[in-house]
Structure 1
């Protein structure tokens, strides 16, 4: 992740997001330009309308003035402003949203590129629901920074200047006063809204993110919660969280109403003072009386750009909180790094594990001085009770966890000297928890071997005892599993994961509990197919069941994180 994602205090946390805007400056700049054109067209339309009505009324006082009054030119100007306003509004929507969507797409890519190198252990610090919230709600919150804060604020400033210029052409003093008063209205209201509300909006964003993450996780475990009669209690917890979030939202609404009242009051004072000065000049000086309405309506039109600023700046706290949460993801620098290119190439598919020590973040020691050698093409079973460190050893081999000390070598080359591409191509893994993507069964299998034919897939599934299951699928390999593979039983899902690993051409296979949950006959069938498919390849099979291990070359017994014994299996 780039350095600009490191933690910064206060508003500077928005710096990374502002930096990401640079490639889309043209789109975002055009959005501001079209917004300004729209607003100036509104000011022009309303100002011209006010002058036109006043001038028409005065021209109608006598036959002579009515005959000489040119009403074609101002009416044409009003129509031009209406058309320009419509075109500007369309252009603003097109360009600003195009730029914002591209920007959000880039931001999502940056966040994903931050998450992707992290090991599963690092990702578990957040949880799937929390990560999902950060990738959706937090990033979506940032689109308000440009659309509702930056662009409107810039347009409002330019509109205030434009209002002062339009009025100042006829009366510089009134133009200066109107611009100054509008500027104060555009500063005081938004500042107070931000000052009083940014903590509440940040708290709302925090509560909303927590609620979304909890809801995602609770729905994933809904069957267990229902079975154990805990769903009502969890629902009450979620309801309490929603009430807290709604209370913050009500508080924000009250503050927004207060800021609107203040802004409207300042507008009324500004408008009254502008009209009073214009009327005085029209009565005691040479100001054309038809310009009084023009000046008042110009102030009203310019206020259109200021009206929404208090609510926008009130939500700045929500935007900053979202930026902080996204930064916290970027702060988790991967503890496991890979060289860009291989420092050496493995000579064969042998594995050497030498004095390996692995401890978790909480200090729990998972592996204590594990030493083990697996020759190229050898089939080794790693036997031991649950919690003995077998899965941790596999995670260390694929570099999901980093050992505190010890050496791991593949083909006489240290694993940390291999690029990630080479390491992933060298190992095929069937973990305990098999994940099926929302894609066809064919695509899920082709994940390990894109070149595999349908015939190879069907033959392998049949050999693993999934032939009848496949025939029951209406679309065969073109069928889609339900989310997380819930349409398959636990044993079917595990065998599907084994099939995916066996299809891979990788020289080393790591199978974690491939026969867990299977009956004795099916387990023997699976082990026979594993033995057949792994001939000539190195196999490390993790299990805590000794049955059927006579097919393998050796068995290593792991207990309490230590290798207790290595021997040939007994029939």
Structure 2
């Protein structure tokens, strides 16, 4: 980045030098037009500075962006290492995955902070020193009249960094809160609860408007200060220069050069206007990164994990209790899943079904202490095992069906990277996705697919993965009845002796299970089968 700072300073000085030499050339040519062709040195200087300014600016951009991207690589790796410590529990610590949604903007703010803050400050300092030194050589008072307004304009920008940072942080927080509440209100609008959010949203909108106006007013004041400083510098230079010209200590040609050079110096300081905002964004990004690093994952791998016990699958929940946010999500749950067993789990929304599934994949742990219970695999507590080794034995389809930004083929190969295209194509056809090409791009998070298509691609990935337990969370959500029947038949054909736990609130998937469990308010129960109705007996007729 040091080379970029040098190149940026030289480019700014070249701009000022271009204005100075142009002023000299124009003035001298106006005074002696008959000898214009004799001004070859000035003409060459103007051309050289014009080309050099562009070349230096281009080189500064190349060097600066290369250094920023190299620094950004380290920031991205650090962010990945931080996020890799978490499982899906991260989304429980941050509302709606807010950390993930702003991670890209934070990385950009940090990696380009040097370009937006350091380089403009370095170039501004170089211009002040260069112009001030030249003018001091001509006349010390002339230098003070030009440099002091320049310095004042720069100091105003630097002084605004703290209030701009505070307002920017406030604006970001309000916008984030407003967006979250708006989404919550839209989600609740179906049952009429959304109207109760109108007052809160209105208040947030008012606060956000106030902060935006304050930012705009601060920016306007900085612009006004800069223009006043420009007027003071140019006016002072013309006043002092005219006096020097009157006593013969400065030529009119040099006065024109000094005036244009002072004006060009203000243009060179123009990028400083973006410094407060960029500095605030960088500071906020660093604060969020530090806060994220300080979070403790809900699940951590043991320092010395024991090997997964061999033998057929046997997953058990023994008196498992879990509290989240002061609410009991699971209450002394006991469950055993044997190899090849088929279970269905249903219950009301928010009853803990997905939480129980995450217990089995060890994305969550039971409460600490003896009352929290334990989850075991073949007798070994999951907290003593390597999470990767455990999850290798599980084939998971999640309710939100996350996909990676890539092709359909690449997403399916996450289940079985050796599966040939023929196998992938046949499975997609079975699931009713014959129209979906293997090379089709799914978009970020599967955004280019419909909800039903995304769910079936995720399901196909789970079916392809070799494992002992198929854990399917709402596999037929977003599907019509005909497609649902087709998907359930495909699941049945691809069980291949594996255990099955299907989480659903729809009745059709229950046909795949031999046991049906219900989770309600954290309590697990197995409904008592209803005996078939007994036909009423017809009374026997007696012979008369």
Decide whether the 8 Å contact of 2:394 with 2:471 is kept in 1. yes
CA offsets 1:407-463 (integer angstroms, 9 cap, x no match): 333244432333343232121123344345565554443331222234434555666
1:302 positional shift: 2.0
Partner of 2:23: 50
Q: SS of 1:120's equivalent? A: coil
1:338 and 2:301 are equivalent in the alignment: yes
1:99 positional shift: 3.8
Partner of 1:91: 59
* Unpaired runs of at least 5, structure 2: 533-544
CA offsets 1:265-323 (integer angstroms, 9 cap, x no match): 23333333344444444555755564333333332222223344245326644554454
TM (normalized to structure 2)? 0.77
1:182 and 2:150 are equivalent in the alignment: yes
Decide whether the 8 Å contact of 2:142 with 2:241 is kept in 1. yes
Q: What is the CA–CA distance in structure 1 between the aligned matches of 2:531 and 2:398, rounded to whole Å?
A: 26
Partner of 2:119: 151
* Unpaired runs of at least 5, structure 1: 1-24
1:43 positional shift: 1.7
Q: What is the CA–CA distance in structure 1 between the aligned matches of 2:208 and 2:123, rounded to whole Å?
A: 32
Q: What is the CA–CA distance in structure 1 between the aligned matches of 2:342 and 2:269, rounded to whole Å?
A: 73
The structure 1 residue matched to 2:355, chosen from 387, 392, 406, is: 392
When residues 485 and 357 of structure 1 are mapped into structure 2, their CA distance, relative to the original with a 3 A threshold, is: farther
1:84 positional shift: 0.8
Q: SS of 1:186's equivalent? A: helix
Decide whether the 8 Å contact of 1:440 with 1:479 is kept in 2. yes
1:562 positional shift: 4.9
Q: SS of 2:389's equivalent? A: helix
1:119 and 2:109 are equivalent in the alignment: no
* 1:392-471 equivalence runs, <5 A: 392-404=355-367, 405-435=372-402, 441-457=408-424, 459-460=426-427, 466=431, 469-471=432-434
Q: SS of 2:375's equivalent? A: strand
Partner of 2:235: 272
The structure 1 residue matched to 2:221, chosen from 258, 275, 287, is: 258
Q: What is the CA–CA distance in structure 2 between the aligned matches of 1:520 and 1:73, rounded to whole Å?
A: 85
When residues 200 and 554 of structure 1 are mapped into structure 2, their CA distance, relative to the original with a 3 A threshold, is: closer
* 1:24-63 equivalence runs, <5 A: 25=1, 29-55=2-28
Q: Select between 209-218 and 339-348 the one with higher mean Cα deviation.
A: 209-218
1:379 and 2:341 are equivalent in the alignment: yes
1:160 and 2:128 are equivalent in the alignment: yes
Over aligned residue pairs, what C-alpha RMSD do you find? 4.7
Matched positions, count: 525
When residues 178 and 399 of structure 1 are mapped into structure 2, their CA distance, relative to the original with a 3 A threshold, is: same
Q: What is the CA–CA distance in structure 1 between the aligned matches of 2:512 and 2:100, rounded to whole Å?
A: 44
Q: What is the CA–CA distance in structure 1 between the aligned matches of 2:351 and 2:263, rounded to whole Å?
A: 75
When residues 570 and 415 of structure 1 are mapped into structure 2, their CA distance, relative to the original with a 3 A threshold, is: farther
Partner of 2:39: 71
Decide whether the 8 Å contact of 1:436 with 1:485 is kept in 2. no
Q: What is the CA–CA distance in structure 2 between the aligned matches of 1:531 and 1:338, rounded to whole Å?
A: 34
Q: What is the CA–CA distance in structure 1 between the aligned matches of 2:147 and 2:480, rounded to whole Å?
A: 83
Q: What is the CA–CA distance in structure 1 between the aligned matches of 2:483 and 2:228, rounded to whole Å?
A: 80
1:159 positional shift: 0.8
Partner of 2:254: 291
Partner of 1:3: none
When residues 410 and 233 of structure 1 are mapped into structure 2, their CA distance, relative to the original with a 3 A threshold, is: closer
Q: What is the CA–CA distance in structure 2 between the aligned matches of 1:274 and 1:521, rounded to whole Å?
A: 84
Q: SS of 2:326's equivalent? A: coil
The structure 2 residue matched to 1:505, chosen from 435, 455, 466, is: 466
1:531 positional shift: 5.8
1:204 positional shift: 3.2
Q: SS of 2:64's equivalent? A: helix
When residues 445 and 237 of structure 1 are mapped into structure 2, their CA distance, relative to the original with a 3 A threshold, is: farther
CA offsets 1:317-369 (integer angstroms, 9 cap, x no match): 45544544454444433221124774324323433435343323222223333
Q: Select between 76-85 and 44-53 the one with higher mean Cα deviation.
A: 44-53
TM (normalized to structure 1)? 0.74
Q: What is the CA–CA distance in structure 1 between the aligned matches of 2:17 and 2:480, rounded to whole Å?
A: 82
Decide whether the 8 Å contact of 1:439 with 1:480 is kept in 2. yes
When residues 31 and 128 of structure 1 are mapped into structure 2, their CA distance, relative to the original with a 3 A threshold, is: farther
CA offsets 1:129-175 (integer angstroms, 9 cap, x no match): 73464134455555663333321112101110011122233345644
Q: What is the CA–CA distance in structure 2 between the aligned matches of 1:546 and 1:293, rounded to whole Å?
A: 87
Q: What is the CA–CA distance in structure 2 between the aligned matches of 1:521 and 1:295, rounded to whole Å?
A: 82
